[in-house]
Structure 1
Amino acid sequence: MRYISTRGGIAPVRFKDAVMMGLADDGGLLLPESIPAFSAEELESWRTLTYPQLAFNVISRFVDDIPAADLQALIERSYATFNHPEVTPVVQKDGVYILELFHGVTLAFKDVALQFLGNLFEYILHERNERLTIVGATSGDTGSAAIHGVRGKAGISIFILHPHGKTSPVQAQQMTSVLDENVHNIAADGTFDDCQDIVKELMGDLAFKQKYSLGAVNSINWARVLAQVVYYIYAWLRVAEKGQKVLFSVPTGNFGDIFAGYMAQKMGLPIEKLLLATNENNILTRFINQGDYSVGSVVQTLSPSMDIQVASNFERYLYYLFNQDGGRVSAAFTQLKTEGKISFSNEELQQVRQDFCSASVGREETLATIGRFKRETGYLLDPHTAVGVRAAQQLETGTTPVVCLATAHPAKFGDAVVEATGEPVPVPPAIAQLEGLPTRCVRMAADSEQVRNFIIATVG
């Protein structure tokens, strides 16, 4: 299996090289040359597998340069850190299925991929006797999950940028209370999009990237998306009968989580529709429903992990929408940079609406959903998950099973949950133990040169 860029400007690379490259050297994102497919019969044969066993069966289709025994050991070690035996269990509440993705070390869905990616980095670096400087941007959950995935690991330094004051207090504390020598937090005076632009600029400077061995943990790294494909299949196996189609509702910011569902569908998973749920930062909803992909200003909301305008993984989807034409993808992002928008043909928009449906959920609806769901079911939703649940409730789904992705533990956003329910949120040990811990973080302008100089001074 080899990997190519969405912009068509690099020679194909093997899986391990794709992991270490992160962002493609031509500025695009990496994708497999071909998409492996599984049959309905094969899918049925996976019903009795544990989560790590299923993950091996799926991920191994995309990896041919790591021995099977080593890959299996990496996967098993990654999911041994989760506090639920099923890793990503499914519960049924109020007529919908909730896919709980928050049983990892930082109580967010990002752990599912980043525990695996951290172990993968360590394995490859040890094999090659190399070092890695990870540079990442976070709107809240990626940063802490990435930090906890690589803290203390030999040969790795990690620099995480987050928008100052725009994450939840728990998210900030989960990042900045990790004092391992290889961990460096940067609070940038700007938005997540500003942080993401800085990371892309640094990764796009090939001389700097090569000199300091830059790598990516954001979902621009293909291994992140690949690991997330697994839980769509795992959920389907628990809620659907053979061949039955399912609708997945996905709270969406950077498009990586829902793109993993799109890949699962292309591999053969019976998905009726992928529902892209946004908060007030609804560029993707406007695109799907109105054909308008134009960048606006980021609005701070109750669901900060979704406070994004320019979604990185959208480029991967466009590669397939544009019939795998790298030149067309490159031209689209040139237009976005110069005009603040991307234009699409009517035929392309028709295809988009076959692939996705979308709804935007605002602050009051989010709070009302959390409150009503708690009253009627006793189940607490975090604000991101509430956006996905409310979006699904607005659709006429008939008898199609609906699976809503629960992307974070409600205690990570306790203020919003208290506002919605009037009751304190039970605090799990992983959050309670943060109380009073010392923190370390550097605040600076959202300026790529300042970040570059900080990395140089720190790494040496």
Structure 2
Amino acid sequence: MKYISTRGQAPALGFEDVMLAGLASDGGLYIPESLPHFSAEEVSQLVELDYPDLAVEIMRPFVADFLEEEKLQVIVHDTYKVFRHKAVAPLTQLDTNEWVMELFHGPTLAFKDFALQLLGRLLDEALERRGEKAVILGATSGDTGSAAIEGCRACEHVDIFIMHPHKRVSEVQRRQMTTVLADNVHNIAVEGTFDDCQALVKASFADQSFLKGERRLVAVNSINWARIMAQVVYYFHAALSLGAPEKEVSFSVPTGNFGDIFAGYIARKMGLPIKQLIVATNRNDILHRFFADNSYAKEQLAPTLSPSMDIMVSSNFERLLFDVHDRDGQQLAAVMKAFDETGSISVDEARWQAVKQLFTSNRSSDEEVVSTIKQVSDECSGYLLDPHTAIGVKAARVCHSDKSVPIVTLATAHPVKFPESVVRAGLSEPELPLWLADLHERPELYTVLSDDKAEVHRFIQEKLGL
């Protein structure tokens, strides 16, 4: 399988090179030239598989030029044996045909573990073969950082630098990053927003001269195709559990960067019978405004109770726009250039209407988040949602168009990571799991830096001895 850039000017690459490159050389995002497709009969044959074996079947076509199946089996089983629920991604029923899929049973209590536990192992395999060392440079609005650190802390060939917006992530999110005191782990608190952190990452990838040719930069943000690939699996897992391929399933996805819901879009294109994809946003609603009004436009970022979604620009949305524009890289490059210059784009009416056949969207305020947490707790014997999942549940209840079709909300994080929302709902503060009970007593290590590329690069050089 070859991967091409959304902007059409970068060379097509195999999986290993795409994983190591992250962003394409023309500024685009890599995407498979063509997707594997499962017939209804082939989907039905997946029903009896446990999660790791299902993951092998779904991901095998994407990595066939990189890993033999036996090696893939080992890596995937190692990845998911660290999850603390036998089902890996269990489904919990809220109401008739309404479910949440709990994606928070990994080591950092967030859905990012599904991809980043895997990515760390894949990176180490690739770098070992090449005899190289790499620098992971990432930006996080909360969960990506801790999941990336946890996935890469034991990697022999990687140093990892994670930037988070200073005082704009929850305390549990911060501590899950900054209490990992491994020699190859470096946390940077940037005096700015997540989008500032993301801009620093993109600028660093565009000019890697500060590494003096001794290391390569690797991306762990959701622009890395390996992350999308891993997330496709749990859509298959949920749909199979609820009757696919005989029955359709819909999904509501809390999303800021569009990566998690784009994985659902890919699953549908691979043959999974998905009826509806609901984009659930907070007040930072660039995605909702596109699907509601055909306006993809930057606005001032506002802090919310769901900080992992406090994002002004959704990086992975470019991958959908590529398909919307007939997979024409030249055309898409012109669209993205217009967005960079004006901060606002819309698409042709017919293309927008076609997208809306699958996607709908909803926006929730902080007040609605708190209300939804309380409502679900009252209805479901004290079952707790984190604020991001509450946004997904709210959107599911507003937008679910066919009540005969099961709706699954992706529960993206454990509520203990965001206790403020639970307390504001008038409920008792959730307790950390026993294996994390001492998190608030563990020593922290991080460095506060200004939103300045040169300062960040000097810090990295110093830590690497360059």
The alignment's TM-score, normalised by the length of structure 2, stands at 0.97
- Cα RMSD of the aligned pairs, angstroms, is 1.2
Q: How does 1:49-64 map to 2 (within 5 A)?
A: 49-64=49-64
Contact 1:370 1:421 survives alignment (8 Å): no
The aligned residue for residue 392 of structure 1 is 396
**Which string of whole-angstrom CA distances, capped at 9 and with x for unpartnered residues, describes residues 307-331 of structure 1?**
0010110011111111111112211
Question: 1:241 and 1:23, CA in 2 relative to 1: closer, same or farther beyond 3 A?
Answer: closer
208-217 vs 418-427, greater mean Cα deviation: 208-217
1:117 equivalent among 113, 116, 119: 119
CA distance in 2, matches of 1:421, 1:83: 29
Equivalent position SS for 1:421: coil
CA distance in 2, matches of 1:239, 1:178: 38
Q: Following TM superposition, by how much is the alpha carbon of 1:11 offset from its aligned partner in structure 2, in angstroms?
A: 1.4
1:41 equivalent to 2:41? Answer yes
CA distance in 1, matches of 2:95, 2:426: 17
The aligned residue for residue 285 of structure 2 is 282
**Which string of whole-angstrom CA distances, capped at 9 and with x for unpartnered residues, describes residues 111-157 of structure 1?**
00000000001111111111010000000000000000001321100
The aligned residue for residue 442 of structure 1 is 447
CA distance in 1, matches of 2:210, 2:76: 32
Question: 1:211 and 1:6, CA in 2 relative to 1: closer, same or farther beyond 3 A?
Answer: farther
Question: 1:439 and 1:158, CA in 2 relative to 1: closer, same or farther beyond 3 A?
Answer: same
The aligned residue for residue 454 of structure 1 is 459
Q: Following TM superposition, by how much is the alpha carbon of 1:208 offset from its aligned partner in structure 2, in angstroms?
A: 5.0
Q: Following TM superposition, by how much is the alpha carbon of 1:206 offset from its aligned partner in structure 2, in angstroms?
A: 5.2
Q: Following TM superposition, by how much is the alpha carbon of 1:243 offset from its aligned partner in structure 2, in angstroms?
A: 2.8
1:106 equivalent to 2:111? Answer no
Contact 2:103 2:110 survives alignment (8 Å): yes
Equivalent position SS for 2:245: coil
The alignment's TM-score, normalised by the length of structure 1, stands at 0.98
**Which string of whole-angstrom CA distances, capped at 9 and with x for unpartnered residues, describes residues 175-233 of structure 1?**
01111010011101111111111101111125457653000000111000000000000
132-141 vs 447-456, greater mean Cα deviation: 447-456
1:405 equivalent to 2:407? Answer no
Equivalent position SS for 2:107: coil
CA distance in 1, matches of 2:454, 2:157: 24
1:244 equivalent to 2:230? Answer no
The aligned residue for residue 181 of structure 1 is 183
Contact 1:78 1:116 survives alignment (8 Å): yes
2:429 equivalent among 424, 437, 442: 424
1:213 equivalent to 2:226? Answer no
2:309 equivalent among 298, 301, 306: 306
57-66 vs 255-264, greater mean Cα deviation: 57-66
Q: How does 1:269-418 map to 2 (within 5 A)?
A: 269-378=272-381, 379-395=383-399, 396-418=401-423
Q: Following TM superposition, by how much is the alpha carbon of 1:397 offset from its aligned partner in structure 2, in angstroms?
A: 2.8
Q: Percent identity?
A: 48
CA distance in 2, matches of 1:110, 1:133: 19
CA distance in 2, matches of 1:240, 1:414: 35
- Equivalent pairs, count: 460
425-434 vs 195-204, greater mean Cα deviation: 425-434
11-20 vs 106-115, greater mean Cα deviation: 11-20
CA distance in 2, matches of 1:309, 1:243: 39
421-430 vs 107-116, greater mean Cα deviation: 421-430
316-325 vs 136-145, greater mean Cα deviation: 316-325
The aligned residue for residue 28 of structure 2 is 28
1:93 equivalent to 2:94? Answer yes
List structure 1 segments (4+ residues) > 4 angstroms apart after TM superposition: 206-211
Which blocks of at least 5 consecutive residues in structure 1 are unaligned? none
CA distance in 1, matches of 2:133, 2:335: 35
Contact 1:22 1:220 survives alignment (8 Å): yes
